Amino acid sequence: MSKIFRVVYSSKSIDDLTSMYNYIADSYLDIDAAFNQVERIQEKAESLETLPKRHKIIELEPLSRDNMRSVVVNNFRIFYLINDKYGEVRIIRILYSGRNVEEILGKVSSPE
């Protein structure tokens, strides 16, 4: 039987979800689409409670050094770290795939 991890969201990842919701709702005037996108992302993030290592470590310094992983949901990427000792998956950021991920995440020195 595989270990069940607790999924924890960093404050930045919660800000990311809030910003994403507001952008979709305001730009496209579609609250349902905004809600559905956030829900899809949260479902994928929560699925990391089992087998979180199924996604590859990002091959980009300094992220690979921290063993950061990511999973894609539509046009967004969920970036996360696994803490085996505490049985925790920490969602670090949730970013639009078109953004400069290297620049944004290169500033991440340690999880909250």
What superfamily does domain 6-105 belong to in CATH?
Answer: RelE-like (3.30.2310.20)
Closest listed residue to residue 5, CA positions, set 44, 68, 49: 49
Position 1 scores a pLDDT of 66
* Cis peptide bond upstream of 62, omega within 30: yes
Ranges of beta strands (E only) in 1-112 are 6-9, 69-73, 76-83, 88-96
Report d(CA 27, CA 78) in Å as an integer: 22
> Residue 112's pLDDT is what?
46
CA dist., res. 89 & res. 61, Å (int): 20
- Ordered by start, the domain boundaries in the chain are 6-105
- Specify the pLDDT at position 77: 95
Q: How would you write the pLDDT of the chain (112 residues) with one tens digit per residue?
A: 679 999 999 999 999 999 999 999 999 999 999 999 999 999 999 999 999 999 999 887 766 678 899 999 999 999 999 999 999 999 999 999 887 777 777 765 444 4
Global pTM exceeds 0.75: yes
